[in-house]
Structure 1
Amino acid sequence: MSSMLFSPYKLGPMELSNRIAIAPMCQYSADEGLATDWHMIHLGQLALSGASLLIIEATAVTPEGRISPDDLGLWSDAHLDALKPIIAAIRRHSPIKVAVQLAHAGRKASSAAPWLGGANIKPDEERGWQTVAPSAVPHAEGETVPLALDADGLQRIKQGFVDAARRAAALGLDGIELHGAHGYLLHEFLSPLSNRREDQYGGSLENRMRYPLEVLEAVQAAVPETMAVGMRISATDWVEGGWNIEESVVFARELEKRGCHFIHVSSGGLSPQQKIPVGAGYQIAFAERIKRESSMPTIGVGLITEPQQAEHILQSGQADMVALARAMLYNPRWPWHAAAELGAQVAAPQQYWRSQPHQFKNLFGDTRLGQR
């Protein structure tokens, strides 16, 4: 049986050579939102991995939408210009498709980098700022109370998503993933734990879904039809009374009605009260249910570490693609090793062809030029 992991697939208009995506991973290494040489090294090595899709880390659409002061941004043309040489280098040396995750951190913004403890930075502290959210409910006790967004604030942030999406299109990117997961702004609208509004954006499930759906539609209208536009969600808050898988299924169907090209299914991140039973593939059941109850291409993610595990997820119909994050940082050639184990082929740069082990004669295709 041929490997499904290394079979082609499409996310809307985006044609992919295999079903391995590199999930977005924050690097906390930007300079006032501008990409740095770290991003050139980091994204460059991942672009040579053999995966078919690279999703650039959560990229803020407004300054206050950054998770940390050192998060990547795309809220001005200067940010576009900083990313240009990185994208150009990837295009020259890799066939990988590149998307960007556009995000607003909401009440979880103004936080320190993980290696500095990750704590909330108060507005009166160095490098801190006032956060915003659907409601004036802090993420955790003792953290900054966010300002509840009014109509002007909602429109300003929606326009931020639109402007960032247009810059992504100007960069020649292949896709956009809207960040509706992990307790950030769009997820905050979805969850009744963080959304206490009494207007058309709060209360009922229909109302709580309204703003994320409006952002999706605005971004879709702003970019060419040749760009894939999808959304990452947290399928559950892992907290009683919070956002759950049943609501996620309804939301997925609403995304599908609006022509969303894919859904990337994660979980958690909204509340420190979450209780997550972490284990191998612990989120895949959520992807499976959403895939079963909608027809939108579904990306599964979460402690997928072994090639046979990834293959089984696809062969059993639990997801259409798999995304790897930390496993890819640990082993940036994971797709090469997976292809070797599964008897498949993977794209590799000619400069590396000579690294092919003798027992895997066709791993990279025709490598005769690399044997000189």
Structure 2
Amino acid sequence: MPSLFDSFALRGVTLKNRLVVSPMCEYSSIDGFANDWHLVHLGSRAVGGAGLVICEAAAVSPEGRITPDDLGIWKDEHVDFLRRINTFIVAQGSVPGIQLAHAGRKASTYTSWKGSGAVPVFFGGWQVVGPGDAPFNYDYPQPMALDAAGIQKVIADFRAATVRALAAGFQIIEIHAAHGYLLHEFYSPLSNQRTDEYGGSFENRIRLTVEVVRAVGALLPNHLPLLVRISATDWTKGGWTIEDSVELAKVLKAEGADLIDTSTGGNVPHASIPSAPGYQVEFAERIRREAGVATGAVGLITTAAQAEEIVASGQADLVLLAREELRDPYFPLHAAHELGADVAWPVQYERAKPRQAPS
């Protein structure tokens, strides 16, 4: 049985363990630029022993931001500081990854501690886009339906962002196709009412996601892996289902995706989500088993024993931590001690390393 602290290979990239810092928006950028907050936030998680540190959702275009404070990778000037962060992450023995994202109809909203709902244009907001013109919720902006040229621009933006991500030294690229953002909006029947080649049938609704994966994958060197985060269910009658996700995962695997980062929900407000510890793990397990592709599990995973069980039982190949990593940047080091795994600590911290596993 694999262990949480066994290495894991994705193409030519080997993670030293199965613990991943999930991409978490910090809403701390100006004009999309990373800064010292991102350096310390991401760098400390690498010091804390995670095998993979995935940078937060980086908007592939200005209109793809969730908020005006989002990180971006839509222009060449964004690259230099990201490269600085990645140099530090690699020096700690971790692998740097980035999530490329477009918020779709959930864009142009306030950062939570600044307000709620849509940011008006006269306060720095912008016209948002989506598969149609229905807003996410009553207080969100009304989107403009993407036409053929707009769809091609989205694909081109993901392609250009990939070039910049490689220039910045990211070794793993993840495409964000979950949580009610643009790609999820297209594949879910709840948000996609189009009647053209991007709407209607399952094959049409997944078309944009597949085209983005294909465009990004074509730019990656053979040794670098491609991940895709999806929402495995909309948790809503008539919406996207786990059966749909299994079929999508099969298609994405055939297109070159190496791992499906399995989350859920986010596409409609007021969905009935039965949140409980590890409530999304079953979806990662089913996709892994039925689609024959590696998966990552995320969602209310908070203890070393819980994470170890997910990997050891074959439910998922990687465990992604979000809030628990915010609470404890050194979770991997503490988990190793708890599980009796002998892992290297940063030499600067070696004198504080526990010498005996707990009995």
Q: State the alpha-carbon separation in 2 of the partners of residues 37 and 248 from structure 1.
A: 38
Counterpart contact for 2:106–2:141, Cα < 8 Å: no
SS in 1 for 2:123: coil
Counterpart contact for 1:136–1:147, Cα < 8 Å: yes
Q: Which moved more, 1:42-51 or 1:79-88?
A: 79-88
Counterpart contact for 2:184–2:231, Cα < 8 Å: yes
TM superposition outliers: structure 1 runs of 4+ over 6 Å = none
Counterpart contact for 2:339–2:357, Cα < 8 Å: no
SS in 2 for 1:115: coil
* Counterpart mapping for 1:98-177 below 5 A: 98-123=96-121, 125-177=122-174
**What amino acid is the match of 1:52?**
G
Counterpart contact for 1:3–1:343, Cα < 8 Å: no
Task: Name stretches of at least 5 consecutive residues in structure 1 with no aligned partner.
Answer: 362-372
- RMSD of equivalent CA atoms: 1.4
* Percent identical residues: 50
Structure 2 residue 95 is the aligned partner of structure 1 residue 78: no
Q: State the alpha-carbon separation in 1 of the partners of residues 88 and 336 from structure 2.
A: 25
Q: State the alpha-carbon separation in 2 of the partners of residues 12 and 135 from structure 1.
A: 37
In the TM superposition, what is the alpha-carbon distance from 1:139 to its structure 2 partner? Answer: 0.2
> Scaled by the length of structure 1, what TM-score is found?
0.94
**What amino acid is the match of 1:35?**
A
For 2:325, the equivalent position in structure 1 comes to: 328
In the TM superposition, what is the alpha-carbon distance from 1:14 to its structure 2 partner? Answer: 1.9
Counterpart contact for 2:236–2:271, Cα < 8 Å: yes
**What amino acid is the match of 1:122?**
P
Counterpart contact for 1:239–1:273, Cα < 8 Å: no
Q: State the alpha-carbon separation in 2 of the partners of residues 359 and 89 from structure 1.
A: 29
**What amino acid is the match of 1:101?**
Q
SS in 2 for 1:116: coil
Structure 2 residue 258 is the aligned partner of structure 1 residue 236: no
Q: State the alpha-carbon separation in 2 of the partners of residues 139 and 212 from structure 1.
A: 19
In the TM superposition, what is the alpha-carbon distance from 1:317 to its structure 2 partner? Answer: 1.4
SS in 2 for 1:98: strand
For 2:259, the equivalent position in structure 1 comes to: 262
**What amino acid is the match of 1:49?**
G
Q: How many residues align?
A: 358
Counterpart contact for 2:345–2:353, Cα < 8 Å: no
Counterpart contact for 1:67–1:105, Cα < 8 Å: yes
Among 210, 213, 216, the alignment partner of 1:216 is 213
**What amino acid is the match of 1:299?**
G
In the TM superposition, what is the alpha-carbon distance from 1:360 to its structure 2 partner? Answer: 4.2
In the TM superposition, what is the alpha-carbon distance from 1:90 to its structure 2 partner? Answer: 2.5
For 1:226, the equivalent position in structure 2 comes to: 223
**What amino acid is the match of 1:109?**
A
SS in 2 for 1:88: helix
SS in 2 for 1:222: coil
SS in 2 for 1:178: strand
Q: Judging changes above 3 Å, is the alpha-carbon distance between structure 1 residues 118 and 352 closer, same or farther for their aligned structure 2 residues?
A: farther
> Scaled by the length of structure 2, what TM-score is found?
0.97
For 1:369, the equivalent position in structure 2 comes to: none
Q: State the alpha-carbon separation in 1 of the partners of residues 64 and 5 from structure 2.
A: 36
Q: Judging changes above 3 Å, is the alpha-carbon distance between structure 1 residues 313 and 89 closer, same or farther for their aligned structure 2 residues?
A: closer
**What amino acid is the match of 1:156?**
K
Q: Deviations over 1:216-239 (max 9, x none)?
A: 000011221222111000001111
**What amino acid is the match of 1:273?**
H
Structure 2 residue 277 is the aligned partner of structure 1 residue 275: no
Q: State the alpha-carbon separation in 1 of the partners of residues 88 and 12 from structure 2.
A: 23
Structure 2 residue 286 is the aligned partner of structure 1 residue 303: no
For 1:367, the equivalent position in structure 2 comes to: none
Counterpart contact for 2:118–2:139, Cα < 8 Å: no
